[in-house]
Structure 1
């Protein structure tokens, strides 16, 4: 019997800000052209990388934003190409930076929570919007 492979470790953030126009909460979603999907910024951890450090790094790489991490959010577990994957998430406030399109992420959107929940491709990512609102005490 084959030995099960350990889960792929990844990390990301539910990145949020206050709208520069009206001050309402907005959540950042990234579009990945390789998968043609909308998700929270996330990615695989480097060898021996701390999950929080990896989450903040991935936000910077995918969105160009500096992230101020807050509460830990639920870890999401699923199969990716037949292998278990664990993505560790944090709430994080965008504190600056500027998006530049790249091969991995070609667009970002800042949306109110309900629109972000609707736009997310994977249902498993929608629960993270609710977890963010709870962590910010907005529910």
Structure 2
């Protein structure tokens, strides 16, 4: 009868620096360098087990990010299935290492590959390590962008609306136009109508002047309201007399 596989979980644990570092731990009994991981407790989910085991084996509290993959291999005649997540650890340890772990080291990816004792873990880290580093870099860029204060565009200066009051000065071209077209006085405006008979007199040919007989208008008492009419008749008489 086949034995049930052993379920375990762990992490590719990064510490943020100019060159990101990856955690590898040294087992006390076997004196091997391995990736941090451990078996699931009863009723525990793989993700929760991964976070707990990493905390116990590295001494660092971690934030758990995306799932990276599963490593399956033979361990003591049994199939062992280990799920890995990308994790980020703080700069300083928060707890003491569990007794089974002799040491923890933080190394660049290439050095971590050389340090690992087991071939299957080395092959796994070689595949998922670059993915974890790229994801961490993208996360860091997103955090820096979110932390950067938003720059506001400078406000445009809006010119004030033109005043509705009359300006104190008038442009030269308008001043000239007003001067040229200045309205005439009441007397000047009425003068052409008053001097019209004189203009008409000058236009009568001399040959017709002798044919014009004076018009006799009976002197009829006029009411004061007809004063303007009398004025006009008198002007006509004067005009005819001069024409004769």
Structure-2-length-normalised TM-score: 0.51
Which residue is equivalent to 1:11?
9
Alignment size in residue pairs: 133
List gaps (5 residues or longer) in structure 1. none
**Match status 1:132 vs 2:129:** yes
Q: Please, which moves more after superposition, 93-102 or 60-69?
A: 93-102
**Match status 1:93 vs 2:91:** no
Question: 2:112 pairs with 112, 116, 119, which one?
Answer: 116
Output one character per residue of 1:44-81: Cα deviation in whole Å (capped at 9) or x when no partner.
10012100000000011111111111121221111111
Q: Is residue 9–residue 38 contact of structure 2 (8 Å, CA) maintained in 1? A: yes
Output one character per residue of 1:16-38: Cα deviation in whole Å (capped at 9) or x when no partner.
1123xxx2110010000111100
Q: Is residue 73–residue 132 contact of structure 1 (8 Å, CA) maintained in 2? A: no
**Which has the larger share of helix?**
2
Who wins on radius of gyration, i.e. which is larger? 2
Which one scores higher on RCO, CA 8 angstroms, separation ≥ 6? 1
Q: How does 1:1-139 map to 2 (within 5 A)?
A: 3-19=1-17, 23-95=18-90, 97-98=92-93, 100-126=96-122, 127-137=124-134
Question: Per the alignment, in what secondary structure is the counterpart of residue 54 of structure 1?
Answer: helix
CA-CA distance at 1:12 after TM superposition: 0.3
Q: Is residue 66–residue 96 contact of structure 1 (8 Å, CA) maintained in 2? A: no
Question: Per the alignment, in what secondary structure is the counterpart of residue 101 of structure 2?
Answer: coil
